[in-house]
Amino acid sequence: MPGHDTQAVATELLGVAQSLRGFAYLAANGCKTVEEAIAYRENFSQREGMLIWPDFINFDTVLKADATAYAPARALGLRAKIDEQIGWHKTLSNVGVNGVTGISADVFWDLQDPATDAGLLNKNDVTTLIRKDGFRFWGSRCLSDDPLFAF
């Protein structure tokens, strides 16, 4: 439900994912800051979901302008591509995402320093987006409240 995954929709989607033994990629809908995304994550405890913040940007040829490229939709497409080309066991973290030109919010990231926005988000079970040799998802934690199912 890109762009429409409010907390109520995300909660229902996670219930459906559980009953189908599936998985849901969710946006930290409405969150404008790292702190808001981390606080939003506290609303969930299901291992069948991954929370992503912020969104990608891409050029919309109809609007002839930059537009939101919803990260959960891109995650679904990338998941299908990875499953087909590599296998279900490979995470989508640190894999280049095609067709995007930017990120909707600044996320500071440094591979050698976990004390960054990206490190803080990952530590709090929020997958984020980075720019490193293209644009990528960074993190692979799910929303489980059980540490045995963190990934």
Residue 137 reports pLDDT greater than 90: yes
Least confident of 90-94, 124-128, 146-150: 146-150
For residue 71, what are the domain limits?
A: 7-149
Tell me how many domains the chain contains: 1
Residue 110 reports pLDDT greater than 90: no
Judge whether 75 lies within some domain. yes
DSSP output for 87-144: -TTS-SBT-B-TT--EESS-----TT-SSSHHHHHHHTTEEEEEESSSEEEE------
Task: Give the H or E element holding residue 27.
Answer: strand 24-27
8-63 residue pLDDT tens: 999 999 999 999 999 999 999 999 999 999 999 999 999 999 999 999 999 999 99
Judge whether 1 lies within some domain. no
Judge whether 2 lies within some domain. no
Judge whether 52 lies within some domain. yes
Give residue for tokens 């995954």.
5
Judge whether 126 lies within some domain. yes
